[in-house]
Structure 1
């Protein structure tokens, strides 16, 4: 059977190292990879288009787990099969104390009764569910099952991934064509990759057909030309299910493009729906709604034109009826917009006790999965802006700037020609300046672990108000996704580490401390967390970090590196930056909050200068300022400009925001004693030791007594400067 299996089945990866793509799920350091390697699973649902690796991931788990693995297909199985699987799981648990993983392919095909039959056994741990589906689980899978599972969204493979799949098949000797002499021309490779459209299975099927139907030449070489490739795979498969997620997302994109007055995007989404076989009557019905909802009285003729096009379509049919679809869409896209008819719904809301209306988001339909997958986030409502238009992109990222519609100079179209051109220019300018960037789609989600959440919140609440503000600012700049791998460069007591754990539950967190004692303290602090949820604690300086990491996990690159006062202890900040940049993903970001000691609160400013003689006060000022002018002291010989230079020198684009803050601080006996002690708990000289370079012991004693008399138990505004840094390879230079 293996010999007769198709190439796509033979080339299915057997190990994680062979798996290509989906780095956001199984890249180094991420939760799912760690779970597979540690054989520790909770229930999972893999969601994504065909040929992206859902079943392969399940089989990889089957090959590595010590648990009993049962695989069923929801299309072929019913409640009886579920009961048999549950019975087997119970027997395994009782006789061998062995867990059971139940893999359900096409899990969305289970009806409600089948899903209900499965639910209690997932809930009580009899089986660990791994589901695979091409449909949005928030629409098609029992909500109770979804809430108890981690959801991983797989994306279509990119061009580089598909080329690696093709190369792997051509060089693999046991399962692929490595033993044959196959030469694929570059144009043929480009065609395979382009038409496969992110589907590895489609790519391998096309390659197999090309190789198996092409005779070798006199030298035994099988030449795959562009012509052969075009015969092997002729038409791009479009992911589109008339009752599924793609259907709702695409019609949502069309309607929002029409509402946003973008004729190019409207034609693109209309063409995609027609190409995929959508019912034109459904599209006309939605355009008729929009003609009143979003154009309304601004152009009362809009509903007349769309209705006439719909009637004409009934007479003409396809394929010529596409002219009427395009005409209706172009008319609506270029029509002036008014939502004044929405006044009816205001009245209706009053009748219905002001029931809250749903707010639309950007392009994707967010009816039931906004919190889980972030679909629709960031949509800018055109009616909220002047002239009912905003410079917002409606085309896919790779098609931004593409022009499909060229208005003529005749009649009404001539009147809108200048408007269309100006809006296109404004859209391109907004993208160029980064004014509008489409929000990143959330690719993973999972159930909330209440115990962990309470533990993290309790830990975080130990920080003061100022630290919480710093933490929040860092994570606002970081823009973490749930699947990211994060490195805390200076974990301290865990202020940033614990928030990172909360924000990347399907990713991974690494926390660095400078000394073994500090690292041990943090490890003891996180010991109560489940093993897979714990951060990996490292002991290293910033310059030592890459070497220490290499001993823990090879080839790891971080989506985000964060740090609070991470660079303050580094004598050579450029060298530290050079080492750290090796650990950053090409699309990653480095976010820092660094206190600049050079600008910290001066103690002499807390005193009343009239309480000391003028000469002593002036020498006190000079002695204290000398502390911060020492060019040999790495603690104080730098500022924000130096940090920017260090990061820019290693190829990063850097944004810097310097903040002067004032924090309430009470002057206590312990604090004064620490200032005036002769020995310091750290290796650095104390305040009194610095003063001793210019003042006598008696003068220092007088100053200390003045601090005690005038400031003891007083609350003062303590001044400090914190610089927030956001650096990446793609930031503006």
Structure 2
């Protein structure tokens, strides 16, 4: 049976709810469709605000051959099949690539020549800042459209359009729980109706509790799970670290977010005790960028086990905090003359660099904080 979200999906801009700054009369996306202007672009915005729907409306308006892939599971071969397939004779080939930020650099590089040549018109969708997640060469060939979280009024309109009876209390609770995500709200309505036959606030709450692996990347579970992962490595418990790592991967967490935290952990919690930890963590980050999921999960597991088993020493971290504290407290203290740069005669006349010895044991800190020991 076709999901409710598919049944009520808008077929054109007149039916579309929200994003008036893009689809309203005389706005950029409305003009592009009206003029049938073919170009590559990226939708950037939170989940459930209309990225997929607008892509379909655009492709339909341009009589395009429409293909849709998720970067979570797709790879180069999937792109190649679309390029090599017959078609595109009477209309352009449009590829909607959901979660484009999940494509690694090599995969994005593979896309580039097809977008450049016009063999493929790309519509990317991402919840992450494309400036950081999309390679510059591809980004420069795409226009960016920013989509906003849906307002409560827009959410109410969408919920009413779903066609299920519910009272104001249930509707208000659902709007608050969905947090501007229309897809989540519609799924909740559909699941509640299937389970209970009636959409009430109690039935909605019961349906929510039965959801598997609920994980909001901006909510408590996001921070709770990464915290549990870090603390498991800190406690030298590789099994616990691997478990929380697996939960994050299965719940759709960005693997680069996990890898970045591992790079930080290598210096913060291991530091000088094992200087090989930082290069390894960096190698894991590079592997995640190059390989991508699902195989990058193996690289992340490798790193998590190594960091868990490594001896721990937070002296680098504590030294950093202490120096930052003094830099803020004392401001720009005068640097000793003998270690100042002296590129000109005037500076040399002012005794910049005078008496400098390469391997001196003299304290080189500013006069006011001489004798301070940050690293020990």
TM range (shorter): 0.5 to 0.7
Unaligned runs of 5+ in 1: 171-181, 216-221, 241-245, 247-270, 290-335, 354-733
**Are the aligned partners of 1:191 and 1:230 in contact in 2 as well (CA < 8 Å)?**
no
* Alignment of structure 1 residues 95-174 onto 2, 5 Å: 96=89, 98-170=91-163
Report the count of equivalent residues: 248
Structure 1 residue 69: Cα displacement? 2.3
Alignment partner of 1:339 is 2:332: no
Counterpart of 1:56 in structure 2 is: 53
Compared with structure 1, are the counterparts of its residues 165 and 234 closer, same or farther at alpha carbon in structure 2 (3 Å cutoff)? farther
**Are the aligned partners of 1:102 and 1:128 in contact in 2 as well (CA < 8 Å)?**
yes
Offset from partner CA, 1:640-695 (integer Å, 9 cap, x none): xxxxxxxxxxxxxxxxxxxxxxxxxxxxxxxxxxxxxxxxxxxxxxxxxxxxxxxx
Aligned to 1:9, what secondary structure does the other structure show? helix
Compared with structure 1, are the counterparts of its residues 275 and 71 closer, same or farther at alpha carbon in structure 2 (3 Å cutoff)? closer
Instruction: Give runs of ≥4 in structure 1 deviating > 6 Å.
Output: 235-238, 344-347
CA RMSD of aligned residues (A): 3.6
The partner residue of 2:179 within 179, 192, 197 is 197
Counterpart of 1:279 in structure 2 is: 227
CA distance in structure 2 between the aligned counterparts of 1:109 and 1:46, rounded to whole angstroms: 14
**Are the aligned partners of 1:238 and 1:276 in contact in 2 as well (CA < 8 Å)?**
no
User: Which has the larger Rg?
Assistant: 1
* Alignment of structure 1 residues 80-95 onto 2, 5 Å: 80-88=77-85, 92=87
Counterpart of 2:72 in structure 1 is: 75
CA distance in structure 2 between the aligned counterparts of 1:238 and 1:142, rounded to whole angstroms: 28
Aligned to 1:339, what secondary structure does the other structure show? helix
Structure 1 residue 274: Cα displacement? 7.3
Counterpart of 1:229 in structure 2 is: 204
Counterpart of 1:39 in structure 2 is: 36
Compared with structure 1, are the counterparts of its residues 277 and 87 closer, same or farther at alpha carbon in structure 2 (3 Å cutoff)? same
Aligned to 1:28, what secondary structure does the other structure show? coil
**Are the aligned partners of 1:11 and 1:169 in contact in 2 as well (CA < 8 Å)?**
yes
Aligned to 2:66, what secondary structure does the other structure show? strand
**Are the aligned partners of 1:195 and 1:233 in contact in 2 as well (CA < 8 Å)?**
no
Aligned to 2:196, what secondary structure does the other structure show? coil
Task: Compute the TM-score of the two structures, normalised by the length of structure 1.
Answer: 0.31
Offset from partner CA, 1:610-650 (integer Å, 9 cap, x none): xxxxxxxxxxxxxxxxxxxxxxxxxxxxxxxxxxxxxxxxx
Compared with structure 1, are the counterparts of its residues 72 and 273 closer, same or farther at alpha carbon in structure 2 (3 Å cutoff)? closer
Structure 1 residue 338: Cα displacement? 7.7
Offset from partner CA, 1:432-480 (integer Å, 9 cap, x none): xxxxxxxxxxxxxxxxxxxxxxxxxxxxxxxxxxxxxxxxxxxxxxxxx
Bigger relative contact order, structure 1 or 2 (CA pairs below 8 A, ≥6 apart): 2
Structure 1 residue 226: Cα displacement? 2.3
Alignment partner of 1:20 is 2:17: yes
Structure 1 residue 154: Cα displacement? 1.6
CA distance in structure 1 between the aligned counterparts of 2:176 and 2:326, rounded to whole angstroms: 38
Structure 1 residue 158: Cα displacement? 1.3
Q: Which structure has more helix as a fraction of its residues? A: 2
Compared with structure 1, are the counterparts of its residues 163 and 123 closer, same or farther at alpha carbon in structure 2 (3 Å cutoff)? same
CA distance in structure 2 between the aligned counterparts of 1:22 and 1:201, rounded to whole angstroms: 15
Compared with structure 1, are the counterparts of its residues 186 and 113 closer, same or farther at alpha carbon in structure 2 (3 Å cutoff)? same
**Are the aligned partners of 1:48 and 1:135 in contact in 2 as well (CA < 8 Å)?**
yes
CA distance in structure 1 between the aligned counterparts of 2:334 and 2:176, rounded to whole angstroms: 46
Aligned to 2:150, what secondary structure does the other structure show? coil
Unaligned runs of 5+ in 2: 232-260, 269-324, 344-376
Offset from partner CA, 1:382-428 (integer Å, 9 cap, x none): xxxxxxxxxxxxxxxxxxxxxxxxxxxxxxxxxxxxxxxxxxxxxxx
CA distance in structure 2 between the aligned counterparts of 1:134 and 1:345, rounded to whole angstroms: 46
CA distance in structure 2 between the aligned counterparts of 1:101 and 1:274, rounded to whole angstroms: 34
Aligned to 1:101, what secondary structure does the other structure show? strand
Offset from partner CA, 1:479-501 (integer Å, 9 cap, x none): xxxxxxxxxxxxxxxxxxxxxxx
Compared with structure 1, are the counterparts of its residues 234 and 123 closer, same or farther at alpha carbon in structure 2 (3 Å cutoff)? same
Aligned to 1:76, what secondary structure does the other structure show? coil
CA distance in structure 2 between the aligned counterparts of 1:31 and 1:85, rounded to whole angstroms: 28
CA distance in structure 2 between the aligned counterparts of 1:234 and 1:275, rounded to whole angstroms: 20
